[in-house]
Structure 1
Amino acid sequence: MTAPSSCHTRPLAITMGDPAGIGPEIVARMFLRRPAQRRWIVVGDPLVMRHALAALDPAARVRRIPTSAEARFDDGELNVLVSSEGVSLPPIGRISAESGRAAYAAIIAAIRLAKTGAVRGIVTAPIHKEALAAAGLRYPGHTEILAEQAGGAGVAMMLANEDIRVVLVTTHCSLRDAIRRADQSAQMAAIRLAHAGARALGIERPRVAVAGLNPHAGEGGLFGGEEALIIAPAIAQARREGIDASGPWPGDTVFMQARERRFDVVVAQYHDQGLIPVKYMGLAQGVNITLGLPFVRTSPDHGTAFDIAGRGVADPSSLETAFDYALRLTGAAT
């Protein structure tokens, strides 16, 4: 995750997300709520974004742009770079192949912009995994698409809020597969990325706590041997590399200790072990940061919320937090 030196002069790109969910609405709402911070473009379908913006402010206007170079930021119009164009709106609040294809097209277009340096980073609005599947796109989520498009780079999810930061060893897979995949190589990758990610956020010497896999971190082998056989050797290797890593710590207390500032970042072994503590503290201030990419990518810490899509009540706070983190990670203040 790097921030090129010229990043201050280039916009961020924000994908519209699944057009049937709340993504277009929260993007439009953030645009209206932050008139002083509009140096960014939306990547998506102009028709979808025009509808979302008009529902909130009929006087607001969308500028359809074929390239990021044609964006303007001084006239109050929302710049939408065209990644797809439907002839009608998709069914709101429903899974459809049409929405899955449009959401995917926006992600791919934004990644290309970031890889070529046209934008300084990307913020992604929520997508729906079943809509991707309906479109024949077999990805568990954004992280896997980003990793593939970045050339198979080793990436990890960091979930962060003002209290704790969590990096996952394994992400979107069954618990059975997570246990199998959490080998020493995966441990090392997550620990290194946790260290690098915390440094990117301004922590000079991050204290990295590694959670155990089993109850009570295995209780000396009584509840499982992964801690002694896999996790502890990875921690020892990380320490030899100069990383301030410790553990394995019991998963039922390590997050509380991180919240009390004993640790700067926690490496969690599987998806729910890491995400439950972050999300329990509230979705509005949570953000997902993808570590290990050649560009900055953040996203809100919630899904498409089909149950409220199209009702005009979606809260953009988590998207705004993701936007703020992207600015922070690219070294831009505004």
Structure 2
Amino acid sequence: MSEPLALAITTGEPAGIGPDITVGALLQLAGEHPQVRFHVLGDAGLLAARAAALGVAQAWAHRLADGSVVCDDIPLAVPCDAGRLDARNGGYVLALLDAAIDGCMGGTSGTRRFAGMVTAPVQKSTINDAGVSFTGHTEYLAERAGVPRVVMMLAGPQPAHGNAMLRVALATTHLPLRAVPDALTVSMLEETLAIVDHDLRRHFGIARPRILVTGLNPHAGESGHMGREEIDVIIPALAHAVDAGIDARGPYPADTLFQPRHLDGADCVLAMYHDQGLAPLKYGTFGHGVNITLGLPFIRTSVDHGTALDLAASGQAEHGSMIEAIRNAIAMAGHANGRPRAAPLVATR
């Protein structure tokens, strides 16, 4: 009998809904995936308290007792009240991430404990208030993993379009808009396209990914009349990518690209900046979207929403995105064992 697949799940900001959605998602998924051992990284007492607040204390205790869920107890720095941030727990949040990263990469022992990691949302302000410069999971994971570039990709089913999958990767992530044009270079876009192409093949089994690339400016620059980034940067990067065997097409105007007739048969959209790509994706998939970091030496997925402090311990937080994040991590981890080709963005007519 093969060893169970081990996944790490970090519970995120303790004052937010991370513990709630972790408990809720695992009470459903642990029974559906007996071949997986879910390692929850967080304060055991906090998780038990949230399970009690949600009215599922007995069910949570049963999952821990039968071994389908394992709590890797990492104590809070100070007690936590739901909905109330405390910068003294900023280091605790990073300790959860560090433990998951070490487990995925092997740490000092060189033995990988986890096949991948799933992360609940964190509160960036709390970590920064604790004295640590932190711009987001994506950047932190890249630094800890020692990779020069990673790519944020969100994916999710679109109920309005028959649950067809939509995947959107980002050339830039958490930058102010005024900094985006200077961040876009030919070499950076070439590297980004190479990462997207490589990981769509590796993790999703897509033999030849078709990637549609947006322009930066309105109307994709209108032949240079509304900006030259398309002519000077994006088009040359696309040409180099095509020469390298990547099926990358564009640049397309972002305001019209996100329609089924344009996306039909494609596998991913590469957008130039955060809101350009994520606004249409979250509109179409919110609550079931998944954040996937491409380019890491391990699998990482996450939810597509924030900490929702006002919903913590209320029983009103939806855990659909956490369920999808966990399911995607399981599928990605098992893909090398002959899983079928992942669905395209929009099902072929």
Regarding TM over 0.5, the answer is: yes
* Corresponding position of 2:58: 59
Could you tell which deviates more after superposition, 185-194 or 243-252? 185-194
Q: Residue 81 in 1 paired to residue 72 in 2? A: yes
Structure 2: runs of 5+ lacking an equivalent? 107-111, 158-164, 340-349
The alignment's C-alpha RMSD in Å is 2.2
Q: Which residue identity does 2:170 align to in structure 1?
A: L
Q: For this pair of structures, how many residues does the alignment match?
A: 319
* Separation in structure 1 between the aligned mates of residue 207 and residue 3 of structure 2, nearest angstrom: 23
Offset at residue 304 of structure 1 (A): 0.5
C-alpha spacing 1:15/1:83, structure 2 compared with 1 (3 Å): same
Change (3 A) 1:61 1:209: closer
SS in 2 for 1:245: strand
| CA–CA distance in structure 2, aligned partners of residues 97 and 73 of structure 1 | 30
Q: CA deviation at 1:10?
A: 3.5
The offset of 1:190, in angstroms, is 1.7
CA displacement, residues 215-250 of structure 1 (integer Å, 9 cap, x when unaligned): 000000000000000000000000000001111111
Q: Quick one: structure 1 residues 231 and 178, their matched pair in 2 at CA, closer, same or farther if it must change by over 3 Å? A: same
* Contact 1:171-1:270 within 8 A present in 2 as well: yes
Deviation at 1:87, TM superposition (A): 5.3
Matched letter for residue 190 of structure 1: T
Residue type matched to 1:167 in 2?
A
Q: Which runs of 5+ in 1 are unaligned?
A: 1-6, 64-71
Per mean C-alpha deviation after superposition, the further-off stretch among 14-23 and 309-318 is: 309-318
| In structure 1, C-alpha distance between the alignment counterparts of 2:48 and 2:283, rounded to whole Å | 34
Structure-1 residue corresponding to 2:289: 286
TM-score, normalization: structure 2?
Answer: 0.86
The aligned counterpart of 2:84 is 94
Matched, 1:106 2:104: no
SS of equivalent residue, structure 1 residue 229:
helix
Aligned residues of 1:16 and 1:42 also touching (Cα < 8 A): yes
Residues 45, 86 of structure 1: 8 Å contact kept? no
* C-alpha distance in structure 2 between counterparts of 1:111 and 1:331, whole Å: 19
What does residue range 69-218 of structure 1 map to in structure 2 within 5 Å?
A: 75=66, 78-86=69-77, 88=79, 90-116=80-106, 117-162=112-157, 163-199=165-201, 200-218=203-221
Q: TM-score, normalising length from structure 1?
A: 0.89
Hey, what does 1:69 align to over in structure 2?
A: none
Give me the identity figure in percent: 43
- Paired with 1:74 and 1:330, the residues of 2 have a C-alpha distance of 25
What's the CA shift string for 1:172-231, capped at 9, x where partnerless?
110111221111122112211221232221221111111000000000000000000000
Residue 29 of structure 2 is aligned to residue 34 of structure 1 = yes
CA distance in 2, matches of 1:292, 1:306: 31
- Paired residue for 2:302? 299
3-state SS, counterpart of residue 252 of structure 1:
helix
8 Å Cα contact 1:214-1:223 kept in structure 2: yes
Structure with the largest fraction of helix: 2
SS in 2 for 1:198: helix
Q: Distance in 1 between matches of 2:90 and 2:277?
A: 27
State the distance in 1 between where 2:40 and 2:261 align. 35
